[in-house]
């Protein structure tokens, strides 16, 4: 052992950059067969630690060589995608071989690029037909995925976004005149188009369902999703990819995929970091205060944190409150901040009831400059605004999964370990719920005493 270590040290000194192989462990196994017992010798070499793998890792170009067209890889490099993230490194060899996959990895880990590279490897750029379909739960995520797909395609093929009911009439004639190779769509828009026979899904080679647990969890969308998976096209004739940071009961889901023929029988579950669902560089805090104190505590937090950009999550308005004619809580928070917050960030609003144009405008406003976005949970899935340094849960999320996705809107620069903050405002009665989330998601949340808030504002 000492001799091997000395030889490795000598080799490292003689050849800078040389990394000696990790030591091999040998196990002797003695199975008993009908021929009698014999000894099997197993040599096991451990994987290097993640940091070392990343440093010595192949580039994205090397991982995709021969599978993804060169012009797409060239664009990826120009955009800044040079080294694969962990989920890309693990999933791309499978995805690019055409394997059906469930991509299950932390928020901000780079699942979008992984499945888009698979899409670009499968489509025939010279054919004029719909060949790939990416289904998303919200328009905002759709806008974002379309943007990345168009950046990579760089006019070599058409990418169409079907996200808004109001646009569908015009888009129907565009699809017929010149079928796009890739369509990014929300479930209702896609079903409307297919039911109006604007196009069929028979020719698709790749079907991606992003945020799959969210779409399956929506009673309004689930039956349409089942049709997309089984009636409009067949699993045997396409590659099917599901992606999410949270797939509750994933073994059951894997079983359902095969049983219901949503995928082929050899679908693979790529689960990165299974023991740690929450990204480790997020710093979680909470403040216990009454509902009346909440706005002032929020203001105080914004003054002490001075975020680069922030998202403030507010609960969706209940049907009862809507019927009573009350304004939504999001509006009250926006109004308060516009009157009281003295910092430099723009205060913006995003919620379900806004029309498509207002939502799209609000979404594009936040791109590229400092913002403070007040939103319901529609901003919690897939939203990628890497400059977001802080998340505030003005209202406690309903479930641990919602907490995970809200928190995951920060800390979205894959190779940065910069600490980002997630702060939750709770009443005394809600404390046990937050503790349950911590147990389920395995993270630690530190209390900020209320007194420290008021010392700062007074």
Ligand X SMILES: Nc1ncnc2c1ncn2[C@@H]1O[C@H](COP(=O)(O)OP(=O)(O)OP(=O)(O)O)[C@@H](O)[C@H]1O
Task: Please give the residue ranges that form the binding site for ligand X (CB under 6 A).
Answer: 60, 80-81, 83-85, 88, 107-113, 245, 382, 384, 386, 408, 412, 414
Q: Is the dihedral of CA 20, 22, 27, 33 positive or negative?
A: negative
Other C-beta atoms closer than 10 Å to the C-beta of 454 total 14
| H-run or E-run covering 358 | helix 356-366
Strand partners, 284: 422, 445
* Residue placing its CB nearer to ligand X in the complex, 68 or 448: 68
* Residue placing its CB nearer to ligand X in the complex, 107 or 423: 107
* Residue placing its CB nearer to ligand X in the complex, 331 or 399: 399
| Least distance (Å) between residue 50 CB and ligand X | 15
| Least distance (Å) between residue 113 CB and ligand X | 4
* Residue placing its CB nearer to ligand X in the complex, 199 or 242: 242
Output b/e per residue, 225-257; b: 16+ Cβ within 10 A. bebbbeebbebeebbbbbbbbbbeebeebbeeb
Query: What's the CA gap between 122 and 68, in Å, rounded?
Result: 8
* Residue placing its CB nearer to ligand X in the complex, 60 or 278: 60
Range list of H helices, 273-353? 294-305, 319-323, 329-340
Question: CA separation (Å) from 211 to 4, 31, 60, 284, 312?
Answer: 48, 45, 24, 24, 21
Looking up tokens 């005394």 gives: 428
Q: Are 313 and 398 in contact (CB under 8 A)?
A: no
Question: Between helices 450-457 and 294-305, what is the axis angle to 10°?
Answer: 70
Task: Judge residue 384's burial from the number of C-beta atoms within 10 Å of its C-beta, 0-12 exposed, 13-18 middle, 19 or more buried.
Answer: middle
Residue 21 DSSP class = P
* Residue placing its CB nearer to ligand X in the complex, 212 or 334: 212
| Least distance (Å) between residue 87 CB and ligand X | 7
| Least distance (Å) between residue 382 CB and ligand X | 4
* Residue placing its CB nearer to ligand X in the complex, 35 or 418: 418
Q: Are 285 and 444 in contact (CB under 8 A)?
A: no
* Residue placing its CB nearer to ligand X in the complex, 142 or 382: 382
| Least distance (Å) between residue 138 CB and ligand X | 11
| Least distance (Å) between residue 301 CB and ligand X | 23
| Least distance (Å) between residue 374 CB and ligand X | 20
Residue 138: CA count within 13 A, CB half-sphere: 21
**DSSP reduced 3-state for 38:** coil
Query: What's the CA gap between 233 and 335, in Å, rounded?
Result: 48
* Residue placing its CB nearer to ligand X in the complex, 67 or 294: 67
Query: What's the CA gap between 351 and 331, in Å, rounded?
Result: 10
Query: What's the CA gap between 358 and 363, in Å, rounded?
Result: 8
* Residue placing its CB nearer to ligand X in the complex, 69 or 386: 386
| Least distance (Å) between residue 224 CB and ligand X | 21
* Residue placing its CB nearer to ligand X in the complex, 83 or 354: 83
| Least distance (Å) between residue 8 CB and ligand X | 31
Query: What's the CA gap between 295 and 374, in Å, rounded?
Result: 13
Query: What's the CA gap between 203 and 148, in Å, rounded?
Result: 23
| Least distance (Å) between residue 409 CB and ligand X | 7
| Least distance (Å) between residue 381 CB and ligand X | 7
Report phi then psi at 408, rounded to 5.
-70, 0
Integer-rounded Cα Rg, in Å, for the chain is: 25
| Least distance (Å) between residue 112 CB and ligand X | 3
* Residue placing its CB nearer to ligand X in the complex, 274 or 449: 274
């Amino acid at each position: 052992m000492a001799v091997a270590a000395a030889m490795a040290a000598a080799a490292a000194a003689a050849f800078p950059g040389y990394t000696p192989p990790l030591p091999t462990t040998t196990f002797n196994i003695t199975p008993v067969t009908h021929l009698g017992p014999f000894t099997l010798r197993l040599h096991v070499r451990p994987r290097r630690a993640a940091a070392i793998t990343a440093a010595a890792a192949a580039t994205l170009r090397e991982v995709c060589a021969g599978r993804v067209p060169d012009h797409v890889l060239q664009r990826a490099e120009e955009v800044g995608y040079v080294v694969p993230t962990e989920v890309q490194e693990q999933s791309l060899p499978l995805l690019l071989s055409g394997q059906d996959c469930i991509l299950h990895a932390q928020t901000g880990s780079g699942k979008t690029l992984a499945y888009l590279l698979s899409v670009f490897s499968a489509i025939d750029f010279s054919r004029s037909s719909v060949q790939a379909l990416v289904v998303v739960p919200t328009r905002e995520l759709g806008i974002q995925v379309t943007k990345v797909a168009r950046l990579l395609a760089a006019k070599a093929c058409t990418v169409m976004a079907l996200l808004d009911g109001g646009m569908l009439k015009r888009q129907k004639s565009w699809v017929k005149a010149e079928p796009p190779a890739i369509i990014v769509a929300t479930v209702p828009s896609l079903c409307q188009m297919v039911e109006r026979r604007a196009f069929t899904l028979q020719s698709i080679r790749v079907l991606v369902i992003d945020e799959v647990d969210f779409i399956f969890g929506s009673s309004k969308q689930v039956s349409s999703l089942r049709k997309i998976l089984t009636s409009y096209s067949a699993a045997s004739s396409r590659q099917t990819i599901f992606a999410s940071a949270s797939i509750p009961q994933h073994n059951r889901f894997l079983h359902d995929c095969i049983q219901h023929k949503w995928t082929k029988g050899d679908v693979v579950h790529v689960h990165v970091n299974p023991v740690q669902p929450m990204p480790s560089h997020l710093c979680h805090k909470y403040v216990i205060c009454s509902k009346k104190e909440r706005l002032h505590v929020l203001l105080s937090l914004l003054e002490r944190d001075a975020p680069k950009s922030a998202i403030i999550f507010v609960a969706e308005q209940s049907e009862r409150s809507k019927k009573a004619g009350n304004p939504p809580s999001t509006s009250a928070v926006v109004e308060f901040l516009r009157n009281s917050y003295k910092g430099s960030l723009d205060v913006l609003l995003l919620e379900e009831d806004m029309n498509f144009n207002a939502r799209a405008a609000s979404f594009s406003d936040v791109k590229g400059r400092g913002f403070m976005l007040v939103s319901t949970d529609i901003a919690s899935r897939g939203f990628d605004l890497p400059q977001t340094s802080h998340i505030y849960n003005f209202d406690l999320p309903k479930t641990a999964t919602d907490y995970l996705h809200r928190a995951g809107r920060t800390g979205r620069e894959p190779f940065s370990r910069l600490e980002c903050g997630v702060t939750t405002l709770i009443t005394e009665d809600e404390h046990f719920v937050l503790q349950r989330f911590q147990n389920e998601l395995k993270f630690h949340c530190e209390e900020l005493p209320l007194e420290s808030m008021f010392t700062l504002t007074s």
